[in-house]
Structure formats: C-alpha cells, structure tokens
Amino acid sequence: MFKHLTGDKWLGLTAVIAALLLIFVWVPLDIDTGLVEKVRRQIRLGDSLGPVTAGVVILLGGILTWMRPSADPQSLSVDNLKWMATLAVTITVSFVVMRFAGPMVTSLLTDTPYRALRATPPWNYIGYIAGGALLVATLISLARRKVSLSAALVGIIASLVFALLYDLPFDDLQLPPNGDV
C-alpha cells in the first residue's frame, strides 16, 4: 500500500503521527502542569499549552502536506541515510578522540591529573587538535574519495590555527574538551 506514497505523502504522514505522539503521549508524560492551572486562586496558562500548540501546528502542516503534495516531491533516499550513518561515525569518533586524547596522553606521561593541566599548554591542545584534525581530514578525504597527506595537513593546520586563535588572546575561553573535565 505504501508504494503509491510519494515523498510528500510520506512527510505529511510522518508529521501527523509525530504530532499526535507529541500531543497525546510526550506532553502528558513529561510536563507537570496542564493546559491551564490554578495558582493563588487565579487561573494561568500551564506549561502544556505551548507544546500542544506546537503540536497542532505540526499536525496542520502534516495534513496540508499530505493533501497537497508538491508536483516534484523530494525525499530521503537510501543513499542519504548511508551518508548520515557515515557522518555519524566520523563525528562520533572525532568527538571521542577530542574528549579523551588529552587525559590519556597526560596520564601516560605525567602524574598530574588533566583537570589541573586543562589551561596549560601544550596539554590543553592535545584533544582539540587530534579530534579536529581527524574530523577535517576525514571529511576532505571522503569528498575527494581518496586519503591524502594534504587532507591531513589541512586538518592539522586548521585546528592548530583555531586553537591558537582562541587560546592566545583570551584568558577566559576554553577549547574543547577543557570545560568538561
């Protein structure tokens, strides 16, 4: 039955289902006050009213999109989903490296905890430059469909430049991941 659904019909259907779930499941479960509430013997608008309004707007949009699909509908293809997955892996790995490279290197080489060194060069750059370079180099390599030294160089230079750009002039700013440790 779903074969006859064009991209916009799918989109409309998804929006309608999401809106109904929002209004009838998520809002009642995850908000403590109703559409209106009584406080100090006065009625005031509750916390649920805004989200329900948002849900109604999505619902309306979904119905309209379902009823009036555009002539040349676009939709997500399997290839798009594959790209999303590739991107998710690339970003996750880069962020993990960014978060943990600094503490790991520090614990291997010194007895001082990373937290105490998080504002001290060169330790505070390790994670950012490793993770940032990995992210940039991987994406360039994917776009060029080949792994190259130049991609890695661009990554290292870019992250180094940004690190110095933020860290040298400004005392109060922290590079990733130094606000988390």
Among residue numbers 73 through 112, which ones bind another protein (CB under 8 A)?
73-76, 79-80, 83-84, 87, 91, 95, 98-99, 106, 109-112
Q: How many residues bind another protein (CB under 8 A)?
A: 96
Asked if 2 interacts with another protein (CB under 8 A), we say no
- Distance CA(17)–CA(49), nearest Å, equals 19
| Cβ at position 114, least distance to another protein in Å | 9
174 touching another protein, by CB under 8 A: yes
Q: Per-residue x/- mask for another protein, residues 29 to 48, rule CB under 8 A?
A: -xxxx-----xx-xxxxxxx
Two tokens at 101? 């490279």
Under rule CB under 8 A, residue 148 binds another protein: no
**Minimum separation from the CB atom of position 3 to another protein (A):** 19
Report the residue number, 57 or 147, with the smaller CB distance to another protein: 57
Q: Is 68 in the site for another protein (CB under 8 A)?
A: yes
For residue 23, state whether it binds another protein (rule: CB under 8 A): no
Task: Assess whether the previous peptide bond of 177 is cis (omega < 30° from 0).
Answer: yes
Q: Is the bond into 122 cis (omega within 30 degrees of 0)?
A: yes
- Min dist. Cβ of residue 1 to another protein (A): 21
Burial of 143 (0-12, 13-18, 19+ CB in 10 A): exposed
Q: Which two tokens stand for residue 18?
A: 């999401």
Q: Is 24 in the site for another protein (CB under 8 A)?
A: no
Q: Using the rule CB under 8 A, is 17 a contact of another protein?
A: no
Q: Report the number of secondary-structure helices (H) and strands (E) in the chain.
A: 7, 2
- Give the residue carrying structure tokens 């990554």: 155
Distance of closest approach, residue 23 Cβ to another protein, in angstroms? 11
Backbone angles phi, psi at 93, to 5 degrees: -60, -45
Q: How far is residue 120's CA from residue 112's CA, in Å, rounded to a whole number?
A: 12
In whole angstroms, give the CA distance from residue 107 to residue 113: 7
Binding to another protein (CB under 8 A) within 109-128 occurs at 109-112, 115-121, 123, 128
